[in-house]
Amino acid sequence: MVLPKLLVALSVVTAMLTVDAQRLRAAQIVLPLTAFGQATTANGDGTGFSVSEGADAVFSEYNVPAADGVGEQRGILEFSTAGLPTGAMITAVTLNFSITLFKELPGPFPHRPEIVFFGYAANGVIDATDAAESGKVSLTFRNLAYEISAQGSDAVALDPIDVQSLVATTPAALGIMLYNGRTNVAAGFATTGEGAPTLVLTFDAVPEPSLPTVVALVLLLRPRRGTRP
């Protein structure tokens, strides 16, 4: 008789755990920008970057030939993940930003900046490796670049699956490198003040087991009379 009762108790606890799992709590968090920098090189081959920190804006441009000694610039943004709960399942990601400089080549079909948002697990400190493409993942849906069409406020939806893969490694920050794939056009991203970028994550947080579930587990696992503990 002990085994059937045990199986019944186990099935009840399993059902209670299933109910707990279904009580996913939808939430949203704004990850703060904690580090940002400007990567610059005179080369046009994506190498030789030097990095400076703390500018009011970071620029993304690619010049052929180099203009005023600048072959390419890439902006670097890092957002703290300290407030993101462990086990959070990310369902949506939005990067809000403000364009302070916009350079296009006008014409019947304007040539405008196209930005790829490369993501990486960051440490909250800007260095030259943050400017490299290697070891990073494109965060835009279907790896498509995002066209900047004017100055002012803007926002781009990022792929939550790719972002989830990065935060799963529990980095100190989530980094985004701003890569412009079009030549002789540029975009400047504000980094301070009201136009500073924000990274908004919507996620489902797994709740702690409810009290009835915990009690049921304790009773199920409690040694019974006549049995070994």
pLDDT confidence band for 10 (50 / 70 / 90): low
pLDDT in tens, 149-169: 999 999 999 999 999 999 998
Q: Is the pLDDT of residue 215 over 50?
A: no
* pLDDT given at position 68: 87
Judged on CB neighbours under 10 Å (0-12, 13-18, 19+), 189 is buried
Whole-number Å distance between alpha carbons of 33 and 14? 42
pLDDT of 217 higher than 50: no
What percent of the chain is predicted at pLDDT more than 70? 79
Task: Choose the CATH number for 25-205 among 1.10.3470, 2.60.120, 2.60.40, 3.30.70.
Answer: 2.60.120
What are the residue ranges spanned by the domains of the chain? 25-205
Cα separation, 117 vs 39, in Å, equals 15
Q: How far apart are CA 15 and CA 197, in angstroms?
A: 44
Q: Confidence band (pLDDT; 50, 70, 90) for 207?
A: low
Q: Is the pLDDT of residue 206 over 80?
A: no
- State residue 4's pLDDT score: 56
Q: Is the pLDDT of residue 18 over 60?
A: no
87-118 confidence digits (pLDDT tens): 899 999 999 999 999 999 988 888 999 999 99
pLDDT band per the 50, 70, 90 thresholds, residue 19: very low
Quick one: 2 exposed, middle or buried, by C-beta within 10 A (0-12, 13-18, 19+)? exposed
The Cβ-side half-sphere exposure at 26, using a 13 Å CA radius, reads 3
8 A C-beta contact, residue 115 and residue 192? no
45/174 Cα distance (integer angstroms): 26
At 53 the pLDDT is: 85
